[in-house]
Amino acid sequence: MSDIHDPAVKLTDANEALALLKAGNQRYVSGEHHNYDFAAYRAQLSGGKGQRPFAVVITCGDSRVCPEHIFDQGIGDIFVCRNAGNILDEGTMGSAEFGHAACGAPLVVVLGHSECGAVSNAFDGTTGLPDALQGILVGIQKTIAGSPDKPAATIANLNDQLNRLKSNPVFDDAVVMGAIYDLGTGVVSWQ
């Protein structure tokens, strides 16, 4: 198997999908990015041809966390859902369901990250934020209660999101995994 996905090919094996993400992260960390022909990708994926992502990645909206770069993937390879704290609210859950059930991605990943502002603010009990953001923090606070520090809170939040996915019957035939991205090193650690 190549460590680069052909966007015209539907990948149905979650183990192959995971291998592609791991190989891409190794390229990202080493600075040896693949030189994607994005014009060719656009041509292969437009004009009613649809999309064939091999993974759904649910991650934080943090501008430092860009899954297409972190996993060194091209257009159409991963179906990305982003919001503060990588939480599975109704919109994000519905989007993840679409990426798996409608687009056929066999792998679903919740990607947390170090130094997450949403988790940090929830851990610190920050108040006085705009209503919608404060609501996100309140939800995260419930999942991280009892965490001894922010890294443990990040993992507790990740595990809560994984449990939500695993309890959704839409994902019964998917491989659901968690991972943590380290902002400093660029390394993704699989949970």
Q: Is the pLDDT of residue 1 over 70?
A: no
62-86 pLDDT, tens digit each: 999 999 999 999 999 999 999 999 9
The least confident of 3-17, 18-32, 100-114, 131-145 is 3-17
SS3 81: strand
Partnered with residue 79 across adjacent β-strands are 56
Report yes or no: 106 and 14 within 8 Å, Cβ to Cβ: yes
The pTM (predicted TM-score) of the whole model is 0.94
SS3 179: strand
Report yes or no: 99 and 56 within 8 Å, Cβ to Cβ: yes
Of 20, 189, 187, residue with least CA distance to 110:
189
Q: In CATH terms, is domain 14-190 a member of 3.40.1050.10?
A: yes
Rounded Cα distance between 190 and 12, Å, is 20
96-153 pLDDT, tens digit each: 999 999 999 999 999 999 999 999 999 999 999 999 999 999 999 999 999 999 999 9
